[in-house]
């Protein structure tokens, strides 16, 4: 059973715990609407290191799955965040694939693409086109 009244009640409670981190994120708003959650019970988190991050760790996992390990969780409690490990200001192991940006459910990982360069996590990569043969 994945859509019983009890399951929907638990989903709504879990959503209430996530909403303070990203109250305006479209993905969360969509789920909130589907569950009839009109207003957050808890106050929004102020001053988060990465605004709208719900600490789902999908970015860390996808980066690890591709073998780059450029991201990790850092800190504990109110100070927990995702980003480059060891206090690095830029993700030195990042290859600029953009997978973390694509998978982030709240769209809080900034990726800037100019067509010839791509910037993400404090790094800027040159985008070179290759031709077959």
Which residues sit at the interface with ligand SF4, rule CB under 6 A?
50, 53-59, 62-63, 68, 70-71, 82, 91, 94-100, 103-106, 108-109, 120-121
Based on CB atoms, which residue is closest to ligand SF4, 37 or 71? 71
Q: Are 83 and 56 in contact (CB under 8 A)?
A: no
Sign of the dihedral defined by the CA atoms of residues 30, 32, 34, 37, in that order: negative
Scanning the structure block, which residue is given the tokens 């479209």?
26
What the block records as the tokens of 3 is 């859509």
Q: To the nearest whole angstrom, how small is the minimum distance from the Cβ of residue 103 to ligand SF4?
A: 6
**Closer CB to ligand SF4, 19 or 120, in the complex:** 120
CB of 50 to ligand SF4, least distance (A): 6
Nearest distance, CB of residue 47 and ligand SF4, angstroms: 16
93, two tokens: 């192991």
Q: Please give the helix or strand (H or E) that residue 120 lies within, else none.
A: strand 117-120
Which residue(s) pair with 117 in the sheet?
A: 126
CB of 11 to ligand SF4, least distance (A): 18
**CB nearer to ligand SF4: pick between 19 and 59:** 59
* Among candidate residues 132, 105, 127, 100, the one with its CA nearest the CA of residue 115: 127
**CB closer to ligand SF4, 34 vs 49:** 49
């Amino acid at each position: 059973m994945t859509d019983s009244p009890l399951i929907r009640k638990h989903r709504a409670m879990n959503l209430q715990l996530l909403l303070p981190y990203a109250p305006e994120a479209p993905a969360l708003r969509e789920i909130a609407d589907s569950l009839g959650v009109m207003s957050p019970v808890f106050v929004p988190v102020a001053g988060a290191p990465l605004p709208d991050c719900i600490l789902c760790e999908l970015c860390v996992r996808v980066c690890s799955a591709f073998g780059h390990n450029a991201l990790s969780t850092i800190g504990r409690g109110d100070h927990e965040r995702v980003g480059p490990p060891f206090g690095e200001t830029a993700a030195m192991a990042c290859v600029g694939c953009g997978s973390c940006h694509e998978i982030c459910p709240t769209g809080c990982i900034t990726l800037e693409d100019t067509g010839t360069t791509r910037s993400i996590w404090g790094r800027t990569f040159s985008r070179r086109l290759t031709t077959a043969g």
